[in-house]
Amino acid sequence: MNSRFSTLLMAACLCAATLLGGCGSLETGGGGAPAGPVSQSAGPAPAPVATAAEEISAEFAPDQVLVKFRLGLRAAEGGVEALGRQTGLSLRTAQPLEPIPGAFLVELEGGANPLDAAEQLSAQPQVEWAEPNYRWTSSEVIPAEPSFSELWGLKNTGQTIQGVAGTSGADIKATYAWDSLLGSSSIVVAVIDTGVDYNHPDLAANMWINIDEIPGNGVDDDSNGVIDDRCGMRAVDGDGTVTGDPMDDHYHGTHVAGTIAALSNGSGVVGVAPGVRIMACKFLDSTGSGWTSDAVLAVNYAVQNGAQLSNNSWGGGGYSQALYDAIQAASTQNHMFVAAAGNANRNTDSSPEYPAGYALNNVLSVGASTNKDAKASFSNYGSSSVDLFAPGDKILSTVPGNQYGYLSGTSMASPHVTGAVALIYSYFPGITCTEARTRLINGVDYKSAFDNKCVADGRLNARGALLNASDFKAPANLDAVPVSTSQVQITWQDRASQETGYELWRKMVTATTTTGYTKIQLAANTTSYLDTGLYPGTRYYYKVRAQMGTTYSAFSNQDNATTQGPQPPGPNAPSNLAFTKTLLSDGRTQIVLTWSDNASDDTGAQVQRTTGTSTATSKLKGSNKTTYSYKTATADSYTFKVRAYNLFNFSAYSNTVTVTVP
C-alpha cells in the first residue's frame, strides 16, 4: 500500500506559525501555513550579542596572588613573610598550591593591586613565577545572529518566548558543543521533507552541491537518473517520477533545515551544526503530505548520493515494509535516520508511530521538550520506542522567502538531534550509527520529566554527546537521609549496565570549614551506602558516578543531609589582645597583634579589622595562633578583635583594641 505521510507539526491551532521579518512578528490563524511576507526592517532593534571574537579582559581575585619559589617547598614555607619584607608588600601564606612543589596561594593585604604585586614578586631572585589568581569560566561560543536570544533550544537563559518564560539551562548546550567544532563541510544531511528554500540567505551557502551536475541544461550529467539535481531531488507525485528541483513550496522543510544548519553569518538564526551541508530531498508536496513510494525514492537518493544522515520530520502513514526495507538498507551504509516521534500525546510503546517506530539500529525517535524542560503536551513518548527528547515547542527558524517563523511539534525536535548527530559525525569520522546513538543517549541531561518517557530518560545535550566516551549512563535520583548522629543513608538509581564500580563523593560543610571531597569506592550494581563515623549536627554533601575501568560516567545529582544531634561547640575564645605599632622606613606603620590562645581544639584564628564603616577579616590557618602583623600607609583609626575556630564553629571574640595611625 502506498501510504500517505505528512509533516509532524501540531494540528489545528498548534500548527500555526509566527513569521519574523527581522524582529517583527505576525501571527497566522489556525490553518498552519505562514502568512504573507513581513518587512525585514519591522520591529525594534535586537539587543547586542557578544561575539566570540570580542576581547574579554581577565578577571582575578582582588586580594590574592600565586607564587612559586625557586628553592622548593621546604625553603619556601617560611619565605612568604620574608618576601613581603623584601618587597614592601603585606603578604600572608593562605595555603600550599598542591601539587606544585614550592607554590603557594598568597593573600595580599593593604590593598595592593595583584597585577602590580605579581610583577614585583616575579622580579625577586628566589621567585620562579608569580601571577594573579585568575577566574576561569567554561568555554562557549556565542554567535552574533540578532535572533540568537530567541533560539532557546540552543541556549536557554530563562528568556520569554511567545509569552512563556523559560528555565535557564533547559537547552541542548549547543554553545558549549561549538567550542569543539561547528560541523564539517564533509558531512551531508539529507532533509527529507517538503523541500528547502535553497536561496534563503541563512541556507544558500550551506546547501550540498552535486558538482557532477550542470544546472539548467536538461541533461543527467552524472547519470544518476535525475536531471539537473544540483542540490537535491523532488518526487511528489507517487508515480516514480524524480526531478531535480527541491524548492520548498510549503515551509516545513526550510524550517527544519534552518534548525540543523543555518549559517553562523551574523544575521537571522543559526543551526545546531552550522558547518555541515544540507541535501534537499522533497517528497512532501505543497500541502505537507506525500507517498511511501516517494519517501523510499528520497531515502535511496540520499544514501546513494553520500548523505551520512537524514532528518525525517513526518509520519502518520502506518507500517510500511517498503519504507522499513529502504531504511534498513540505509543502515548498511551507516546512514542515521532521525525521525520525529509524533504529536498525538500517546505512548508509542503500545501504539507505534512510523517511521520513528521502526526497530532499527539506525533509527532515532525524538520527542519534543519545552523551554521549561518538560515534555511538550503534544509529544508522543515511550520508554523503549522514543530515544530522547529535544526542544520542539515554539522554535524559531528559517522559512521560505528570506523569512523566519516559530513552529511547534516533534518536527522541530528532530532537527535538533539531527544537528547533534552531524556534530558527532564531524568530530568522530568513521563512527558507526550504534556508537553515535550511544553517545547521544549517554550524553543527555537527565530530567525527571522524561523518566520512563524515553530510552535516555533525558533531553539532548550536544556537548555531552561529544564528550561522552563511555557506554554507560550516569546514576540518578541520589537521595541522602540522616539516620543518626553519626550516619547518613545514601541511595541512588543504577542506570548503567557495564560499570565496574561506583565512586561516591562526600564533602563536609560547617560554619568554618568546607572540606574537599572524600572518594568512597563501591562495587558494581551498588545502589545504597550507609556512611558512618560522621560528626553530629553537621551537613554533608554527596554525589556519585559510575566507573568502567579508568572511565567515568557523568555525576548524579547532588544531595545533602545534616546528621542528627547538636553540632560540636566552637573552641574557647582568645584573650588578652594587645598591640604594638612601629613606623617603618618606607613610611608605613606596622601593627603587631598578640593574644593568649585558650583553645585546645582550634584549627585557626580569624582577625577582624574595622576602619570607619569598612570591615575586613583575615584567616590564620593552623592551631595555637597568637600573633598577627598588619602594615598600612593610611592614616586612620583601626579596631581589631580576634576569635578562634575549629572544624565546626567560631569561638566568641576576644577583647578589642584600637590603634591610631600614624
Active site residues: 193, 252, 411
Contact 438, 369 (CB under 8 A): no
Burial (0-12, 13-18, 19+ Cβ within 10 Å), 244: buried
Contact 69, 126 (CB under 8 A): yes
Closest CA to 396 of 183, 69, 152: 152
Burial 336-368 (b: 16+ CB within 10 A, else e): bbbbbbbbbebebeeebbbbbbbeeebbbbbbb
To which residue does cell 565512586 refer? Answer: 503
Beta strands in 44-126 (DSSP E): 60-69, 90-96, 103-109
Crossing angle of the two packed helices 410-427 and 252-261, in degrees rounded to 10: 40
Q: If DSSP states are collapsed to H, E and C, what string results for 32-43?
A: CCCCCCCCCCCC
C-alpha 353 chain-centroid distance: 31
Instruction: Indicate the residue type of 578.
Output: A
**How many other C-beta atoms lie within 10 A of the C-beta of residue 29?**
9
Alpha helices in 247-365 (DSSP H): 252-261, 292-304, 321-331
Task: Examine residue 215 and say whether the peptide bond preceding it is cis (omega within 30 degrees of 0).
Answer: no
Q: Which three cell numbers stand for residue 436?
A: 553515535
Closest CA to 499 of 523, 465, 528: 523
C-alpha 137 chain-centroid distance: 12
Three-class SS of residue 54?
coil
Closest CA to 26 of 408, 392, 409, 404: 404
Backbone angles phi, psi at 413, to 5 degrees: -75, -45
**How many other C-beta atoms lie within 10 A of the C-beta of residue 405?**
26
To which residue does cell 520548498 refer? Answer: 248
Three-class SS of residue 245?
coil
Three-class SS of residue 72?
helix
Closest CA to 93 of 66, 117, 72, 70: 66
Closest CA to 82 of 67, 99, 64: 67
d(C-alpha 198, C-alpha 209), whole Å: 11
Q: Which three cell numbers stand for residue 260?
A: 540543523
To which residue does cell 558507526 refer? Answer: 432
3-class SS shares of the chain: helix, strand, coil, % to 5: 15, 30, 50
Contact 445, 459 (CB under 8 A): yes
Element (H, E) at 542: strand 539-548
Three-class SS of residue 189?
strand
Contact 131, 65 (CB under 8 A): yes
Burial (0-12, 13-18, 19+ Cβ within 10 Å), 623: middle
